Homo-oligomer: A and B are copies of this chain.
């Protein structure tokens, strides 16, 4: 029998207890031993809960319980999750977490501690919820040099974009609906400003490219500026807008990484990822493109990933098999202004600026959306850097930029 301590009895934590109980027989078989929740840490009371007797408000009750060999961290937030996880690893316990903020901020350090103690720090649930993505990337694709990762990493914003695209709902209405359905928090910033997706692309990039990447070092543009006019412009190009977390290894070894709304051609499979689903596409130098798709959040899907890691930890209870990655490296990220892309630009024009557009931008492709004002001009630029783009936009007299979106195929 292997004892589990759960820290944080919210949505995910209670889902973990539920899945462990619901599939107990098959989990025992797969783990090779019984897995039992011994204690649950939460400051709240849960009167009448089936696990009421296991609840404690004192972390020491988990830390000092020698029967607990696996600690599940589903508290969220950086503190005290970080301190608790670190102490658990140092006390020779395995840790499984769903906490993307913790991994994105402290992953390198915690993985190193796990390695030194021959224990594991697992975090499959931190990216893509229930979708198996981190282990497949780390183990199944180990034969590859991974060159690029792109994903729809936030279900809330994907749901909102879907409503804007399919039902012409405004951003504000889509956000209100997402909040009503419980997808978005009262303060929706982590979702709509891209921070949630940013943490996840940082974790994916660290795992694939070998160095920790801090979210604060990554360009992150959310959904706030995307309008129904942008959606219609994309539609006129047989494309849709998706919020993409994107990381690419450059030839010089640096990583171009960012989160931004992107206009994607319909032939990209990612454009067909609808509702709150997530998907991650990985490019390897042997395999080419593979994609992983599924529910990116939710109680039982996220618990599925956590419990998958718990089973793995139970099978390797005193044998380190976690990945490790090196600390963040100065200068390893390409400054966003140097990252190249094609762009879809939309201008409000005082006069016919098309001769100037050609002179400045070269070979552009015009986009005509139905219902556009007569003085609107939209076009796709050749591939250029953000820095060059800004210079060219400044040169274009008689036209005011309305919106600018990256465009491409993934």
Interface residues of A (CB under 8 A from B): 19-20, 22-23, 26-27, 30-31, 124, 130-132, 135-136, 139-145, 267, 269, 272-274, 284-295, 298, 300-301, 303-308, 310-312
Contacts and interface: CB of A to CB of B under 8 A. Distances in A.
B290 A293 contact: yes
B311 A143 contact: yes
A237 to B, nearest CB: 18
Contact of A30 (B142, B273, B285): B142
Contacts of A19: 143, 286
Contact of A295 (B144, B289, B300, B304): B289
Given A23-B144, A23-B145, A142-B27, A288 B311 contact: no
Nearest to A306: B143
Contacts of A135: 135-136, 139-140
Copy number in this complex? Answer: 2
A254 to B, nearest CB: 17
A292 B273 CA distance: 13
Nearest to A138: B30
Given A272-B269, A286-B22, A300-B288, A305 B145 contact: no
A19 B304 CA distance: 33
A293 B291 contact: yes
Contacts of A141: 132, 304, 308
Given A288-B301, A293-B290, A136 B132 contact: yes
A288 B293 contact: no
A312 B135 CA distance: 12
Given A139-B135, A269-B272, A144 B288 contact: no
A18 to B, nearest CB: 8
A124 B140 contact: yes
Nearest to A29: B210
- Residue with the highest number of chain B CB atoms closer than 10 Å, among A136, A145, A312: A136
A362 to B, nearest CB: 32
Given A142-B27, A143-B27, A308-B143, A301 B272 contact: no
B291 A287 contact: no
A20 B144 CA distance: 10
Contacts of A30: 142
Given A135-B140, A287-B294, A288-B301, 6 more contacts: A19-B286, A140-B305, A143-B303, A286-B307, A288-B300, A292-B293
Contacts of A305: 140, 143, 287
B26 A145 contact: yes
B130 A287 contact: yes
Nearest to A267: B274
11 contacts: A23-B143, A23-B286, A27-B142, A132-B136, A132-B290, A142-B307, A272-B272, A286-B300, A288-B300, A289-B294, A292-B293
A307 B306 CA distance: 27
Contacts of A290: 130-132, 292-295
B312 A284 contact: no
A32 to B, nearest CB: 11
A301 B289 CA distance: 9
A140 B310 CA distance: 10
Contacts of A300: 286-288
Nearest to A310: B143
B286 A143 contact: no
Contact of A23 (B31, B285, B304): B285
